Homo-oligomer: A and B are copies of this chain.
Amino acid sequence: MKHEPGPAYSYTPIGTIHSPFTDIAGMPIQPVGARGVRGTIEIREDLREGLSDLAAFSRVILIYALHRCSGYSLTVTPFLDPAPHGIFATRSPKRPNAIGLSVVRLTGVDGCTISIEDVDVLDGTPLLDLKPYVPSFDAYPDSCCGWFEHVAENAKVTRSDDRFR
């Protein structure tokens, strides 16, 4: 079947993520490696009403633009493994569409400011969407995870370098 790629989709950020990380090198590579790292999200003032009832959740899913990545590779050698893998079998940022996903702790909502912990994103990252984390929908602890199976735990201590700058 020939694939018709269709039109591009365009999204204006709903807010900005603030974190202590100003350089893409030396960062935690996943929230599990950023335990206790605090950050904030500033949501656009015109969207404030949409945050109602959010404070009762303990985690949120952030979907954001990996705005400092340019270009992509179809095969990458990720931080956690010396072997190369197809980009869609990795969480590497150098993806065809540079969209990031992180599950972070929610610690407070005050007006348009959301306080978060376990933040593994660059300061100034444009937030595209924020969804409540719902274990019934999102938690599959027994899922098989391919090459990650024996190395995923290393994300707790692994830091990035500049390979995906």
Contact = CB atoms under 8 A, between A and B. Distances in A.
A97 B64 CA distance: 11
Interface residues of A, number: 79
B63 A50 contact: no
A5 B44 contact: yes
Counting every copy of the chain, the complex holds 2
Given A16-B6, A97-B12, A101-B61, A53 B135 contact: no
Contacts of A44: 3, 5
Chain A, interface SS category: mixed
B53 A97 contact: no
B89 A137 contact: no
A112 interface: yes
A141 interface: yes
Contacts of A152: 134-137
